[in-house]
Structure 1
Amino acid sequence: MEFIKRLFKINKRPSDSWTMFSTSKSEVNELLVSAGQLTIGDDFLKIENYPFEPSIAYRQNNFKVNQIDDIDFKSCPPTFRFENELIFLTSEKKVELEEFAKKNNIMTVERPMIWGWILEPFLDTGFTQETDKRLTKLLNNYGLTIDQIKSLRTEVETQMLKYNFDTMLWEWGGFDASDVLRAMRTKYKKDEFEDFYKRVMKIALLIKRIDK
Protein backbone atom coordinates (compact mmCIF):
# COMPACT_ATOMS: atom_id res chain seq x y z
CA MET A 1 0.00 0.00 0.00
CA GLU A 2 2.98 2.32 -0.37
CA PHE A 3 1.25 4.11 -3.26
CA ILE A 4 -1.41 5.25 -0.78
CA LYS A 5 1.21 6.89 1.39
CA ARG A 6 2.74 8.67 -1.61
CA LEU A 7 -0.59 10.34 -2.30
CA PHE A 8 -0.24 12.18 1.00
CA LYS A 9 3.38 13.32 0.81
CA ILE A 10 2.33 16.58 -0.84
CA ASN A 11 -0.36 17.26 1.74
CA LYS A 12 0.51 15.80 5.13
CA ARG A 13 -2.82 16.87 6.59
CA PRO A 14 -5.33 15.63 4.01
CA SER A 15 -8.88 16.90 3.99
CA ASP A 16 -11.43 14.86 5.91
CA SER A 17 -13.41 14.62 2.69
CA TRP A 18 -10.64 12.78 0.80
CA THR A 19 -11.56 9.23 -0.21
CA MET A 20 -10.20 6.72 -2.70
CA PHE A 21 -13.63 5.64 -3.87
CA SER A 22 -15.81 8.70 -3.19
CA THR A 23 -17.20 6.92 -0.16
CA SER A 24 -20.02 8.87 1.46
CA LYS A 25 -19.77 10.06 5.07
CA SER A 26 -22.70 7.85 5.99
CA GLU A 27 -20.93 4.75 4.63
CA VAL A 28 -17.70 5.72 6.39
CA ASN A 29 -19.64 5.82 9.67
CA GLU A 30 -21.18 2.43 8.94
CA LEU A 31 -17.79 0.94 8.08
CA LEU A 32 -16.53 1.88 11.55
CA VAL A 33 -19.59 0.58 13.38
CA SER A 34 -19.09 -0.59 16.96
CA ALA A 35 -19.21 -4.28 17.89
CA GLY A 36 -21.80 -3.38 20.52
CA GLN A 37 -21.72 -3.12 24.29
CA LEU A 38 -20.58 -6.04 26.45
CA THR A 39 -21.73 -6.72 30.00
CA ILE A 40 -20.06 -9.57 31.90
CA GLY A 41 -22.29 -11.15 34.51
CA ASP A 42 -21.56 -13.93 37.00
CA ASP A 43 -22.74 -16.66 34.61
CA PHE A 44 -23.67 -14.86 31.41
CA LEU A 45 -22.45 -12.45 28.74
CA LYS A 46 -24.79 -9.72 27.55
CA ILE A 47 -24.25 -8.06 24.18
CA GLU A 48 -26.29 -5.07 23.07
CA ASN A 49 -26.42 -3.34 19.67
CA TYR A 50 -24.53 -6.07 17.83
CA PRO A 51 -24.04 -4.88 14.22
CA PHE A 52 -24.15 -8.10 12.17
CA GLU A 53 -27.75 -9.01 11.40
CA PRO A 54 -27.18 -12.68 10.41
CA SER A 55 -25.68 -13.38 13.85
CA ILE A 56 -27.56 -14.95 16.73
CA ALA A 57 -26.18 -12.04 18.81
CA TYR A 58 -28.26 -9.63 16.71
CA ARG A 59 -31.42 -11.31 17.99
CA GLN A 60 -30.31 -12.65 21.37
CA ASN A 61 -28.70 -10.42 23.98
CA ASN A 62 -27.87 -12.86 26.78
CA PHE A 63 -25.65 -15.92 26.52
CA LYS A 64 -25.53 -18.25 29.51
CA VAL A 65 -22.41 -20.24 30.33
CA ASN A 66 -23.86 -23.43 28.87
CA GLN A 67 -24.27 -21.69 25.50
CA ILE A 68 -20.62 -20.68 25.25
CA ASP A 69 -18.48 -23.39 23.67
CA ASP A 70 -15.15 -21.63 24.20
CA ILE A 71 -13.56 -18.18 24.58
CA ASP A 72 -10.53 -16.67 22.89
CA PHE A 73 -9.72 -13.70 25.13
CA LYS A 74 -6.27 -13.16 23.60
CA SER A 75 -7.48 -12.38 20.08
CA CYS A 76 -8.20 -8.84 18.95
CA PRO A 77 -11.09 -8.54 19.31
CA PRO A 78 -11.85 -11.37 21.77
CA THR A 79 -14.41 -13.92 20.62
CA PHE A 80 -16.56 -16.69 21.95
CA ARG A 81 -17.96 -19.56 19.97
CA PHE A 82 -21.67 -20.34 19.85
CA GLU A 83 -22.24 -23.49 17.79
CA ASN A 84 -20.84 -22.70 14.30
CA GLU A 85 -20.46 -18.99 14.88
CA LEU A 86 -17.96 -16.61 16.43
CA ILE A 87 -19.30 -13.69 18.42
CA PHE A 88 -17.00 -10.67 18.55
CA LEU A 89 -16.53 -8.85 21.85
CA THR A 90 -15.09 -5.47 22.78
CA SER A 91 -11.36 -5.54 23.45
CA GLU A 92 -11.23 -3.47 26.64
CA LYS A 93 -12.54 -6.31 28.83
CA LYS A 94 -9.98 -9.03 28.05
CA VAL A 95 -8.93 -9.42 31.69
CA GLU A 96 -12.54 -9.71 32.83
CA LEU A 97 -13.23 -12.29 30.10
CA GLU A 98 -10.31 -14.41 31.24
CA GLU A 99 -11.60 -14.30 34.82
CA PHE A 100 -15.13 -15.11 33.61
CA ALA A 101 -13.86 -18.16 31.71
CA LYS A 102 -11.86 -19.45 34.67
CA LYS A 103 -14.70 -18.90 37.12
CA ASN A 104 -17.18 -20.80 34.95
CA ASN A 105 -14.80 -23.51 33.67
CA ILE A 106 -15.20 -22.42 30.05
CA MET A 107 -12.59 -23.75 27.67
CA THR A 108 -10.19 -21.09 26.39
CA VAL A 109 -8.53 -21.29 22.97
CA GLU A 110 -6.22 -19.33 20.69
CA ARG A 111 -7.71 -19.35 17.22
CA PRO A 112 -5.53 -19.14 14.10
CA MET A 113 -5.49 -15.79 12.28
CA ILE A 114 -7.04 -17.19 9.10
CA TRP A 115 -8.88 -14.03 8.02
CA GLY A 116 -5.91 -11.94 9.09
CA TRP A 117 -3.74 -13.85 6.63
CA ILE A 118 -6.31 -13.45 3.86
CA LEU A 119 -6.67 -9.71 4.45
CA GLU A 120 -3.02 -8.79 4.90
CA PRO A 121 -2.67 -7.26 1.37
CA PHE A 122 -5.07 -4.49 2.45
CA LEU A 123 -3.04 -3.30 5.44
CA ASP A 124 -1.15 -0.02 5.38
CA THR A 125 2.18 -1.79 4.89
CA GLY A 126 4.19 -3.49 2.18
CA PHE A 127 3.03 -6.86 0.84
CA THR A 128 5.93 -8.69 -0.80
CA GLN A 129 6.07 -11.88 -2.84
CA GLU A 130 7.81 -13.53 0.10
CA THR A 131 4.95 -12.53 2.41
CA ASP A 132 2.41 -13.81 -0.10
CA LYS A 133 4.15 -17.19 -0.34
CA ARG A 134 4.40 -17.50 3.44
CA LEU A 135 0.72 -16.66 4.00
CA THR A 136 -0.42 -18.90 1.13
CA LYS A 137 1.41 -21.82 2.74
CA LEU A 138 -0.26 -21.09 6.08
CA LEU A 139 -3.69 -20.89 4.45
CA ASN A 140 -3.04 -24.09 2.47
CA ASN A 141 -2.56 -25.82 5.83
CA TYR A 142 -6.19 -24.98 6.62
CA GLY A 143 -7.48 -26.30 3.31
CA LEU A 144 -7.68 -23.08 1.30
CA THR A 145 -6.30 -23.30 -2.23
CA ILE A 146 -4.46 -20.57 -4.13
CA ASP A 147 -7.54 -20.00 -6.30
CA GLN A 148 -9.80 -19.70 -3.25
CA ILE A 149 -7.44 -17.20 -1.63
CA LYS A 150 -7.29 -15.09 -4.80
CA SER A 151 -11.07 -15.23 -5.19
CA LEU A 152 -11.69 -14.10 -1.61
CA ARG A 153 -9.22 -11.23 -1.90
CA THR A 154 -10.76 -10.11 -5.18
CA GLU A 155 -14.25 -10.21 -3.66
CA VAL A 156 -13.37 -8.00 -0.70
CA GLU A 157 -10.62 -5.80 -2.18
CA THR A 158 -12.53 -2.59 -2.87
CA GLN A 159 -14.45 -2.69 0.39
CA MET A 160 -11.35 -3.42 2.43
CA LEU A 161 -9.53 -0.49 0.82
CA LYS A 162 -12.52 1.71 1.66
CA TYR A 163 -12.52 0.34 5.19
CA ASN A 164 -8.85 1.01 5.81
CA PHE A 165 -8.19 4.17 3.83
CA ASP A 166 -11.44 6.03 3.15
CA THR A 167 -12.14 5.90 6.89
CA MET A 168 -8.59 7.10 7.67
CA LEU A 169 -8.18 3.98 9.82
CA TRP A 170 -4.70 3.28 8.37
CA GLU A 171 -4.49 -0.12 10.04
CA TRP A 172 -1.08 -1.74 9.61
CA GLY A 173 -0.96 -4.34 12.37
CA GLY A 174 -3.63 -6.82 11.31
CA PHE A 175 -7.26 -7.43 10.37
CA ASP A 176 -9.63 -10.20 11.38
CA ALA A 177 -13.03 -11.60 10.48
CA SER A 178 -14.89 -8.74 12.16
CA ASP A 179 -13.11 -6.24 9.91
CA VAL A 180 -14.16 -7.92 6.67
CA LEU A 181 -17.73 -8.20 7.97
CA ARG A 182 -17.81 -4.48 8.73
CA ALA A 183 -16.43 -3.75 5.27
CA MET A 184 -18.85 -5.96 3.34
CA ARG A 185 -22.04 -5.20 5.27
CA THR A 186 -22.26 -1.79 3.56
CA LYS A 187 -22.04 -3.37 0.10
CA TYR A 188 -24.23 -6.45 0.15
CA LYS A 189 -27.99 -6.70 0.32
CA LYS A 190 -29.47 -8.62 3.23
CA ASP A 191 -29.48 -12.06 1.59
CA GLU A 192 -26.04 -11.52 0.04
CA PHE A 193 -24.56 -10.51 3.38
CA GLU A 194 -26.16 -13.48 5.10
CA ASP A 195 -24.44 -15.80 2.62
CA PHE A 196 -21.14 -13.95 3.04
CA TYR A 197 -21.45 -14.08 6.82
CA LYS A 198 -21.81 -17.87 6.73
CA ARG A 199 -18.74 -18.17 4.51
CA VAL A 200 -16.72 -15.93 6.82
CA MET A 201 -17.63 -18.07 9.81
CA LYS A 202 -16.87 -21.32 8.03
CA ILE A 203 -13.39 -20.06 7.12
CA ALA A 204 -12.74 -18.54 10.55
CA LEU A 205 -13.44 -21.89 12.18
CA LEU A 206 -11.35 -24.05 9.84
CA ILE A 207 -9.14 -26.64 11.53
CA LYS A 208 -5.56 -27.23 10.49
CA ARG A 209 -5.17 -30.26 8.29
CA ILE A 210 -3.19 -33.20 9.60
CA ASP A 211 -1.11 -34.80 6.87
CA LYS A 212 -1.13 -38.57 7.00
Structure 2
Amino acid sequence: MEATFAEDHICFQDYGFRGATVHPIGMVTPARIRDADWKAIDPEIRTTRGETLFVPRRQKPELEEFCHRHGIARASRYDAWGDLLEPFLDTRLGPECERATLGRLHEAGFPPAEVAGIRRRLTPLMHAYNFDAMVWEWAYLGLRDLLNAANAPIVAPALQDALGDPATFYTWTMRIADGTAPAAT
Protein backbone atom coordinates (compact mmCIF):
# COMPACT_ATOMS: atom_id res chain seq x y z
CA MET A 1 0.00 0.00 0.00
CA GLU A 2 1.24 3.44 -0.94
CA ALA A 3 -0.27 6.89 -0.58
CA THR A 4 0.78 9.97 -2.50
CA PHE A 5 -0.18 13.31 -0.99
CA ALA A 6 -0.84 16.01 -3.57
CA GLU A 7 -2.05 19.55 -2.94
CA ASP A 8 -5.75 18.69 -3.37
CA HIS A 9 -6.02 14.91 -3.05
CA ILE A 10 -4.53 11.70 -1.72
CA CYS A 11 -3.88 8.95 -4.24
CA PHE A 12 -3.77 5.34 -3.05
CA GLN A 13 -1.84 2.71 -5.00
CA ASP A 14 -1.83 -1.03 -4.35
CA TYR A 15 -4.58 -0.70 -1.75
CA GLY A 16 -5.05 -4.39 -1.07
CA PHE A 17 -8.45 -4.49 0.62
CA ARG A 18 -11.10 -5.76 -1.77
CA GLY A 19 -14.28 -3.73 -1.54
CA ALA A 20 -12.53 -0.45 -0.71
CA THR A 21 -13.43 2.56 -2.84
CA VAL A 22 -9.69 2.95 -3.55
CA HIS A 23 -8.98 -0.72 -4.36
CA PRO A 24 -6.57 -1.30 -5.99
CA ILE A 25 -6.01 2.35 -6.89
CA GLY A 26 -8.03 5.43 -6.17
CA MET A 27 -8.13 9.00 -5.00
CA VAL A 28 -9.72 10.89 -2.11
CA THR A 29 -10.26 14.65 -2.04
CA PRO A 30 -10.63 16.74 1.13
CA ALA A 31 -14.36 17.11 0.43
CA ARG A 32 -14.73 13.32 0.84
CA ILE A 33 -12.86 13.21 4.17
CA ARG A 34 -14.93 13.51 7.35
CA ASP A 35 -11.98 13.31 9.75
CA ALA A 36 -8.68 11.54 10.27
CA ASP A 37 -6.50 10.17 13.03
CA TRP A 38 -2.81 10.47 12.25
CA LYS A 39 -1.97 9.48 15.85
CA ALA A 40 -3.77 6.11 15.68
CA ILE A 41 -1.80 2.86 15.75
CA ASP A 42 -2.68 2.60 12.07
CA PRO A 43 -3.12 6.16 10.73
CA GLU A 44 -6.53 6.46 9.14
CA ILE A 45 -8.88 8.65 7.18
CA ARG A 46 -12.63 8.39 7.60
CA THR A 47 -14.64 9.35 4.57
CA THR A 48 -17.99 11.08 4.55
CA ARG A 49 -19.49 7.69 3.63
CA GLY A 50 -18.09 6.08 6.80
CA GLU A 51 -15.22 4.20 5.20
CA THR A 52 -11.91 3.90 7.03
CA LEU A 53 -8.88 4.16 4.76
CA PHE A 54 -5.44 3.40 6.12
CA VAL A 55 -2.26 5.33 5.40
CA PRO A 56 1.20 3.75 5.83
CA ARG A 57 2.64 4.49 9.30
CA ARG A 58 5.71 6.15 7.86
CA GLN A 59 3.40 8.77 6.29
CA LYS A 60 1.85 10.01 9.55
CA PRO A 61 3.50 13.44 9.17
CA GLU A 62 2.25 13.81 5.59
CA LEU A 63 -1.30 12.90 6.64
CA GLU A 64 -1.20 15.36 9.53
CA GLU A 65 0.11 18.16 7.30
CA PHE A 66 -2.51 17.43 4.60
CA CYS A 67 -5.30 17.52 7.19
CA HIS A 68 -4.06 20.78 8.73
CA ARG A 69 -3.78 22.37 5.29
CA HIS A 70 -7.39 21.45 4.46
CA GLY A 71 -8.97 21.99 7.87
CA ILE A 72 -9.70 18.28 8.38
CA ALA A 73 -10.24 17.54 12.06
CA ARG A 74 -8.41 14.86 13.98
CA ALA A 75 -10.90 12.54 15.65
CA SER A 76 -10.20 9.54 17.80
CA ARG A 77 -13.09 7.14 18.23
CA TYR A 78 -13.99 3.97 20.05
CA ASP A 79 -12.22 0.99 18.52
CA ALA A 80 -14.91 -1.69 18.38
CA TRP A 81 -12.74 -3.99 16.27
CA GLY A 82 -9.93 -3.85 18.83
CA ASP A 83 -12.35 -5.19 21.44
CA LEU A 84 -14.12 -7.63 19.11
CA LEU A 85 -10.81 -9.22 18.04
CA GLU A 86 -9.28 -9.36 21.52
CA PRO A 87 -9.83 -13.14 21.96
CA PHE A 88 -7.59 -13.79 18.94
CA LEU A 89 -4.50 -12.21 20.50
CA ASP A 90 -1.59 -14.42 21.41
CA THR A 91 -2.06 -13.77 25.11
CA ARG A 92 -4.30 -14.90 27.94
CA LEU A 93 -6.61 -12.28 29.36
CA GLY A 94 -8.25 -12.82 32.71
CA PRO A 95 -11.99 -12.78 33.37
CA GLU A 96 -11.81 -9.22 34.72
CA CYS A 97 -10.33 -7.97 31.45
CA GLU A 98 -12.94 -9.87 29.42
CA ARG A 99 -15.75 -8.38 31.53
CA ALA A 100 -14.35 -4.88 30.90
CA THR A 101 -14.14 -5.56 27.16
CA LEU A 102 -17.71 -6.88 27.03
CA GLY A 103 -18.82 -3.86 29.04
CA ARG A 104 -17.28 -1.44 26.51
CA LEU A 105 -18.85 -3.37 23.65
CA HIS A 106 -22.25 -3.34 25.36
CA GLU A 107 -22.02 0.43 25.93
CA ALA A 108 -21.25 0.78 22.21
CA GLY A 109 -24.42 -1.14 21.31
CA PHE A 110 -23.11 -4.70 20.97
CA PRO A 111 -25.19 -7.15 23.04
CA PRO A 112 -23.35 -10.30 24.23
CA ALA A 113 -25.07 -12.58 21.71
CA GLU A 114 -24.00 -10.33 18.84
CA VAL A 115 -20.40 -10.20 20.10
CA ALA A 116 -20.38 -13.99 20.29
CA GLY A 117 -21.79 -14.27 16.76
CA ILE A 118 -19.19 -11.90 15.28
CA ARG A 119 -16.37 -13.70 17.04
CA ARG A 120 -17.70 -17.11 15.97
CA ARG A 121 -17.87 -15.94 12.34
CA LEU A 122 -14.28 -14.67 12.43
CA THR A 123 -12.64 -17.42 14.52
CA PRO A 124 -11.33 -19.57 11.62
CA LEU A 125 -10.00 -16.53 9.76
CA MET A 126 -8.34 -14.86 12.73
CA HIS A 127 -6.82 -18.10 14.05
CA ALA A 128 -5.35 -18.76 10.62
CA TYR A 129 -4.01 -15.20 10.46
CA ASN A 130 -2.54 -14.79 13.93
CA PHE A 131 -1.53 -18.35 14.76
CA ASP A 132 -1.25 -20.53 11.64
CA ALA A 133 0.49 -17.77 9.66
CA MET A 134 2.63 -17.08 12.72
CA VAL A 135 1.90 -13.38 13.05
CA TRP A 136 1.74 -13.95 16.82
CA GLU A 137 0.29 -10.54 17.64
CA TRP A 138 -0.15 -10.36 21.40
CA ALA A 139 -1.02 -6.70 22.08
CA TYR A 140 -3.51 -5.42 19.49
CA LEU A 141 -5.61 -6.63 16.57
CA GLY A 142 -7.88 -4.12 14.87
CA LEU A 143 -9.72 -3.36 11.66
CA ARG A 144 -6.55 -3.27 9.56
CA ASP A 145 -5.55 -6.71 10.85
CA LEU A 146 -8.99 -8.09 10.05
CA LEU A 147 -8.81 -6.69 6.50
CA ASN A 148 -5.29 -8.10 6.13
CA ALA A 149 -6.55 -11.52 7.21
CA ALA A 150 -9.42 -11.32 4.71
CA ASN A 151 -7.11 -10.39 1.83
CA ALA A 152 -3.53 -11.52 2.48
CA PRO A 153 -1.97 -14.53 0.78
CA ILE A 154 -0.84 -15.85 4.18
CA VAL A 155 -4.40 -17.04 4.87
CA ALA A 156 -5.94 -19.93 2.94
CA PRO A 157 -8.23 -18.64 0.18
CA ALA A 158 -10.97 -21.05 1.31
CA LEU A 159 -11.15 -19.26 4.68
CA GLN A 160 -11.32 -15.89 2.95
CA ASP A 161 -13.97 -17.16 0.52
CA ALA A 162 -16.06 -18.39 3.46
CA LEU A 163 -16.58 -14.74 4.44
CA GLY A 164 -18.77 -14.25 1.38
CA ASP A 165 -18.63 -11.52 -1.22
CA PRO A 166 -15.51 -9.39 -0.49
CA ALA A 167 -17.34 -6.08 -1.07
CA THR A 168 -20.19 -7.10 1.24
CA PHE A 169 -17.74 -8.24 3.92
CA TYR A 170 -15.78 -4.99 3.60
CA THR A 171 -18.94 -2.91 3.95
CA TRP A 172 -19.92 -4.90 7.05
CA THR A 173 -16.52 -4.24 8.67
CA MET A 174 -16.76 -0.53 7.86
CA ARG A 175 -20.26 -0.18 9.32
CA ILE A 176 -19.08 -1.74 12.57
CA ALA A 177 -15.97 0.46 12.66
CA ASP A 178 -18.03 3.58 11.99
CA GLY A 179 -20.71 2.67 14.51
CA THR A 180 -23.40 3.52 11.95
CA ALA A 181 -25.29 0.26 11.91
CA PRO A 182 -25.92 -2.85 13.93
CA ALA A 183 -23.11 -5.33 13.58
CA ALA A 184 -25.40 -8.21 12.57
CA THR A 185 -24.26 -10.12 9.53
Q: Structure 2 length normalisation: TM-score?
A: 0.86
| Aligned equivalent of 2:71 | 105
- Residue 10 (structure 2) aligned to one of 41, 45, 66: 45
In the TM superposition, what is the alpha-carbon distance from 1:191 to its structure 2 partner?
Answer: 5.0
| Aligned equivalent of 2:44 | 79
Query: How far apart are the structure 1 equivalents of 2:94 and 2:119?
Result: 15
> Runs of 4 or more off by more than 6 Å in structure 1?
none
Moved more, 50-59 or 179-188: 179-188
- Residue 176 (structure 2) aligned to one of 186, 192, 203: 203
Code of the aligned partner of 2:131: F
Helix, strand or coil for the counterpart of 2:161? coil
Count residues in correspondence: 172
Query: How far apart are the structure 1 equivalents of 2:101 and 2:55?
Result: 26
Q: Structure 1 length normalisation: TM-score?
A: 0.75
- Max radius of gyration: which structure? 1
Task: Output one character per residue of 1:129-182: Cα deviation in whole Å (capped at 9) or x when no partner.
Answer: 111110000011110010010111111112111111222211112011121122
Query: How far apart are the structure 2 equivalents of 1:125 and 1:191?
Result: 29
| Aligned equivalent of 1:137 | 103
Does structure 1 retain, via aligned residues, the 8 Å contact 2:38–2:63? yes
Code of the aligned partner of 1:197: Y
Task: Output one character per residue of 1:8-36: Cα deviation in whole Å (capped at 9) or x when no partner.
Answer: xxxxxxxxxxxxxxxxxxxxxxxxxxxx1
Query: How far apart are the structure 2 equivalents of 1:133 and 1:149?
Result: 12
In the TM superposition, what is the alpha-carbon distance from 1:115 to its structure 2 partner?
Answer: 0.1
1:97-176 to structure 2, matched below 5 A, reads 97-176=63-142
- Residue 20 (structure 2) aligned to one of 55, 79, 87: 55
Helix, strand or coil for the counterpart of 1:69? strand
- Structure 1: gaps of 5 or more residues: 1-35, 208-212
Query: How far apart are the structure 2 equivalents of 1:54 and 1:196?
Result: 8
- Structure 2: gaps of 5 or more residues: 152-156, 181-185
Helix, strand or coil for the counterpart of 1:125? coil
In the TM superposition, what is the alpha-carbon distance from 1:39 to its structure 2 partner?
Answer: 1.2
In the TM superposition, what is the alpha-carbon distance from 1:107 to its structure 2 partner?
Answer: 1.5
Helix, strand or coil for the counterpart of 1:61? strand
| Aligned equivalent of 1:92 | 58
Does structure 2 retain, via aligned residues, the 8 Å contact 1:116–1:174? yes
Helix, strand or coil for the counterpart of 2:165? helix
C-alpha RMSD of the superposition:
1.8
State percent identity of aligned pairs: 29
